[in-house]
Structure formats: C-alpha cells, structure tokens
Amino acid sequence: MSKTIVCRCEDVSLSDLEDAFKQGYHDLESLKRYTGFSTGFCQGKGCTAHAARFLAGLQGGDDMVADPPRVRPLLHPTPAIRFAGEDDGGGEENT
C-alpha cells in the first residue's frame, strides 16, 4: 500500500490530512496542530504549501490561504549555547 507524504519531518500523510478534515479540522492552523505537520525539524518549509493546496482543493476558490500561519523563529534549528552569550540583543523584535 502506498501513501503520499505531506510532512517528512513528522511523517504526516495525505490520508492523515483527509482524516483530520473529516474530524472537523477545516482551517490550516487546526490541520497543522491536529496532524503535526510543520512542527518538526524543518518547521514547515516543505509541507505548509502542500497542506494549503490540499485545503484549497477541498474548499475551492483560488485563494490558497487567506491568512497563512505565522512563520516563527528560528529559521534553522540552532544549539541553545549559541544564544547563551552575554549580549541580550538589545530587545529587538522578530515577528
């Protein structure tokens, strides 16, 4: 039996998304949390677009995601010790 992988980090398949949708998780943020895609090592760089396309395919319309999930730091997984120096970064904000 074959399966289509949506998120490689967290091993989320297309049928996992279909199942989540059937369970009532109908927006991208809820699908993400229920299935776990985008929460692994790459932080959604590959899977978010696949999942958005899946959702758009079910819901119709050409606007894939009106309000995409916020991209959260860090860009790359980084050892804690790299941030443990004395400088506090001056309180700069990322978004």
Partner 1 sequence: MKDRADLVIIGGGIIGLSLAYYLSRMGFSDIVVLEQGYLCFGASGRNGGGVRQQWSTADHIKLARMSVRLFRQLARETGYNIWFRQGGYLFLARDAESASALSANVELQNSLGVPTRLIDVREARRIVPGLAGRNVTACAYNSTDGVLFPWPAVWGMAKTARQLGVEIETFTRLIGIDVHDGRIAKVITSRGAIATRRVINAAGGWSAQVARLAGCQLPNRPYRHEILVSEPLRPFLDPMLCDLSDGTYFSQTMRGEICGGLSDPEEPSSMNSASSFRFLGRMCRSMTRMMPRLGGVKILRQWAGYYDETPDGNPILGPSKEVEGFIQFNGFGGHGFMLAPAIGKIGAEWLLREAEHEIFKKYAPDRFGKNPAPKESLVLG
The CB-of-2 to partner 1 minimum distance in angstroms stands at 27
Tokens of 30: 């809820």
Mutual angle of helices 14-22 and 28-35, in 10-degree steps: 110
We find the least distance from the C-beta atom of residue 40 to partner 1, in angstroms, to be 8
Nearer to partner 1, 63 or 93 (CB): 93
Residue numbers at the binding site for partner 1 (CB under 8 A): 24, 27, 29-30, 33-34, 39, 41, 43, 72-74, 77-85, 87-95
3-state SS, residue 12 = strand
